[in-house]
Amino acid sequence: MGRDSRDDAREPSARRSRDDRLRDDRSHSKRPRYDSDDERRRRRDDRETSEERRTRRAAKRDARAAREQKERERAAELHGYAAEGENAFGDAALDQKFVWAKKDERDRKAGLSREEASAKHLRRRIEAKVRCVRLHQH
């Protein structure tokens, strides 16, 4: 009688599966984390101390503050003011993009998503431009 394929499945295979071979290879090939004690000491000595970390972060904060101050000055000059004290309107947010919060709130209450509201406002701006062009042509 011939052998059934189910019989082969029940018998342990003489060949190891690929996963078994890989698992065995990985378990035998583990290297020590460091090649030598000298390398371990060198890596430990290369680590940043708390004081160095504080100094680095303080320098990063100072650089960010200087960059923001420079941006504020550039925006003030762009809008025609040489210094912040010259801002005739007293608007502290003169260099920031204006957002009409009441209109956004009204759109949210109407059930419009942010994308739908921006598409609606874009259509209105385009229609307004078209009307202006028509008025100037007549």
Domains of the chain: total? 2
- 60 in any annotated domain: yes
- For residue range 91-128, what is the model confidence (pLDDT) as tens digits? 777 777 788 889 889 988 999 898 998 899 899 999 99
- 72 in any annotated domain: yes
- 110 in any annotated domain: yes
Do residues 42 and 87 share a domain?
A: yes
- 3 in any annotated domain: no
Please state which of the ranges 2-6, 64-68, 69-73, 74-78 shows the lowest mean pLDDT.
2-6
- 118 in any annotated domain: yes
Q: State both tokens at 26.
A: 């990985």
Angle at which helix 114-137 crosses helix 101-109, to 10 degrees, equals: 120
- 75 in any annotated domain: yes
Domain of residue 87 covers: 37-91
Please state which of the ranges 56-65, 81-90, 100-109 shows the lowest mean pLDDT.
81-90
Largest CA distance in the chain: 104
Do residues 69 and 87 share a domain?
A: yes
- For residue range 3-28, what is the model confidence (pLDDT) as tens digits? 555 555 555 555 667 667 666 655 55
- 1 in any annotated domain: no
- 2 in any annotated domain: no
pTM above 0.85, yes or no: no
